[in-house]
A and B are shown apart, each in its own frame.
Chain A
Amino acid sequence: MAGAGGGGCPAGGNDLQWCFSQVKGAVDEDVAEADVISTVEFSHSGDLLATGDKGGRVVIFQREQENKSRPHSRGEYNVYSTFQSHEPEFDYLKSLEIEEKINKIRWLPQQSAAHFLLSTNDKTIKLWKISERDKRAEGYNLKDEDGRLRDPFRITALRVPILKPMDLMVEASPRRIFANAHTYHINSISVNSDHETYLSADDLRINLWHLEITDRSFNIVDIKPANMEELTEVITAAEFHPHQCNVLVYSSSKGTIRLCDMRSSALCDRHSKFFEEPEDPSSRSFFSEIISSVSDVKFSHSGRYMMTRDYLSVKVWDLNMESRPVETHQVHEYLRSKLCSLYENDCIFDKFECCWNGSDSAIMTGSYNNFFRMFDRTTWRDVTLEASRENSKPRASLKPRRVCAGGKRKKDEVSVDSLDFSKKILHTAWHPAENIIAVAATNNLYIFQDKAN
């Protein structure tokens, strides 16, 4: 439907002109596995940006205040807080290693001067508080300011400590640990619009938690068959509706999406809507099922649409139409002829995520060779951009890239065979209100923004 592969639209067809802003992370060629970024998420205001990595760390960047001396600079993101969220563990009963890799981060709506986020690895979800401290108590009775002890017999008056200003200190403290509720690997967490509950989904089950209660969760979806040999599909992602507290969706490895209404019953085993696009029998192949597996599902901010990503395309669904998506955008159609080799190098199982812009008018998702794609939903134009250090001068425009699917390669085009499949962009995030995007390329985090001002 949409201009496949960007062939039809002029270079830089996207109305926005994106330019480089910042890059975070080491420049080294050999990347430490622990430094690979595994999730990226803006806070609800967009002032904070969190990343999680395979080493179990969470890094939070804060947007600097507007700089008066450089009125055109809209504030860069600088490190605000870094903490170790998860540690590697070992399950002795099952003889299983539990990786520390952060699978997902979700911010809670800001409720006080402090910020809260949920982070999860395969098994355990943690609620973190990130708060600032700018005062320090001074004055002891039993010792001097320099720490020397005083003679206890010479204490003639009591001193009450007084608070003095000090350099700002940012603290991250674990507030709750939600453990032991998942037998399989957690792939999603999502906070409910009631701001008191959230869901966590693994391959076969979805649990509902209260944010203040750690010793109890309710299982709301369970697709585990009585006999595991009959297992034909797994849950790949799940999310709550942004406004309707009773609605959640989950996607499956069979390419379908189920919408559940928590109002109708306590167990959501029976979906109330079932989104599935009929398969085209002519294109059926050995890989059909694998590439139709949904790797991510995201509601639009308005709550009217949802977007799903499968291996080759990204689809937008109207919640009121279950029979087919209202939009299908090809992400890298030129790979359809390469599925065999992508299967052999396991790339076909990569889980690409997708995201909406703040007004739901554009969507973004990743590809290989450090390329990422943007689709404008109103103009139907799309663009391929590259996250690379080559053109990383501040405010340098990003040049649209094109992949040559076959035939004669034009100037400026990249041949499919020269794509680097080890450089994949799986995680991206779009600022909730502005045209600022964060793109995770292996161990580097790129921040781009539009050139408008």
Chain B
Amino acid sequence: MMRFLLLFSRQGKLRLQKWFTPISEREKKKIIRDMTSMVLARQPRSCNFLHWKDLKIIYKRYASLYFCLAVDNQENELLALEVIHRYVELLDKYFGNVCELDIIFNFEKAYFILDEFLIGGEIQETSKQVVNRCIESSDMLQETMEEYMSKPAF
């Protein structure tokens, strides 16, 4: 199963953190520090897999974001790489040419998409269409620019 998924920028700023097992806040901060320093230190042409304690870390860089996934030792690394890719595809389909800013400003949507795709550290649904259908159901109501601008700004 997967243990955690982190998204961070090249400067080490965390954009998304998903934990699939209960961990204390202090542990989380420590893990985040370890992961960012380990992954950001890697050479460009090296392989995407690392060993860390008793877990395997799979990471991939998409534009300015690093996606870092930690899995149990028996998991298949190549498949984990594709999990990351699938998540990126889902984000891309939803936001249309997703970039880091989208994830910053719509962080809650990123979490919702993740929840439709992975649950409890396992893959839930691998079909892109089905996941997209689920996410977009909440966006059934379309609002106009005026409606949006009339909302309070605080």
- Do they bind each other? no
Residue positions of A touching B, CB distance < 8 A: none
Please list the residues of chain B having a beta carbon within 8 angstroms of any beta carbon in chain A: none
